[in-house]
Amino acid sequence: MNDRKIIIILGPTAVGKTDLSIEVAEEIGAEIISADSRYLYRGMNIGTAKPDKHQLERVPHHLIDVASIEENWSLAQFKEAALESIEKTFRKGKLPILVGGTGQYIRSIIEGWDIPKKAPDEKMRSALIGWAERIGEKSLHEKLMMIDPVAAEKIDYRNLRRTIRALEVILHTGWKFSSQRDKKPLSFQYKMVGLVRPRKELYERIDHRIDQMMASGFIGEVESLLKKGYSLGNPPMSAIGYKEIIQYLKNDLTYEECINDIRRRTRQFVRRQANWFKETDERIRWFDASTVNKGETISFIMDKSGWIK
């Protein structure tokens, strides 16, 4: 197999990407590069359903536990680090497998986005956060829609961090955020494996995962992070589950309300994930995660046809 080829395994949260990708990587001697924005941060383990120690030992993984919660990686940082990891894997003569559900991360790689590396301006960011607190995240998103509708269409109004980042880049450069994503040609070919499940089954798996997280000490994990000085002022801490448990610990939510909010936000997240990769996308070979096995996936990967340049 040409050593300038990568595999992408994508799909919604809780669909089964981790288990399948590890099985495939073990079988063909590949290495896994995480494309999950929540896996970057050290200390956020239970609530992100990060692969456990045993799973990480089975196959070499990249871009897991590489950042402090204080850092708040940008898309440009992820893309640079992911491409570096891909190149390292190529040099070992192994196949990189990019695995995750963060659609923006995956699209930035396969579509060759040229992303502005403008360093965050903390004063401007603080001003934008303050503005959002006064007018609300939806109203701030509407401001972005007026300035750059193309960028706004791709950002959910509830994702305040991305709305603020887009406005920050626009205000700094004087150019629309959407116009700054020129594309560069890829230096490799790729195939995409998409995993799906019936929505009812996926929601049941999500509920079961949340129950497991709580039983495994998710509340204790959040308490530990708070004791270390982290808070909702650190954007990674606004990840699904962490925000709700902080509200529970502050007595702003009951335990039942906390669990229900985590379930609700996770379902909303699944629907947003689907907007990044449609089942009609001809670049993706979709498999039913309920029935697919590593043999079927490997056959698709090893087939000489179907590679996208």
User: Which one of 152, 180, 208 terminates a domain?
Assistant: 180
- The CATH number of the domain where 150 resides is what? 1.10.20.140
Instruction: State how many domains the chain has.
Output: 2
Residue spans of the chain under pLDDT 50 = none
Please report the pLDDT score of residue 309 as a whole number. 86
Residue 176: CB atoms within 10 A of its CB come to 16
Please report the pLDDT score of residue 166 as a whole number. 86
Please report the pLDDT score of residue 124 as a whole number. 84
- The CATH number of the domain where 243 resides is what? 3.40.50.300
Please report the pLDDT score of residue 285 as a whole number. 96
Residue 148 lies in a domain: yes
User: Which one of 180, 211, 226 terminates a domain?
Assistant: 180
Please report the pLDDT score of residue 144 as a whole number. 94
Please report the pLDDT score of residue 118 as a whole number. 60
Residue 88 lies in a domain: yes
Both tokens assigned to 245: 């448990």
**Is 274 in the same domain as 143?**
no
Q: Tell me how far apart the alpha carbons of residues 267 and 63 are, in angstroms, rounded to a whole number.
A: 25
**Is 196 in the same domain as 297?**
yes
**Is 109 in the same domain as 151?**
no
DSSP-derived secondary structure for 43-101: T--TTTT---HHHHHHS-EESSS-B-TTT---HHHHHHHHHHHHHHHHHTT--EEEEES
Residue range(s) defining the domain that contains residue 145: 122-180
Please report the pLDDT score of residue 90 as a whole number. 96
Please report the pLDDT score of residue 95 as a whole number. 96
Q: Tell me how far apart the alpha carbons of residues 212 and 8 are, in angstroms, rounded to a whole number.
A: 27
Q: Which amino acid is at 229?
A: G
Residue 11 lies in a domain: yes
**Is 160 in the same domain as 25?**
no
**Is 81 in the same domain as 168?**
no
Residue 308 lies in a domain: no
pTM confidence score: 0.82
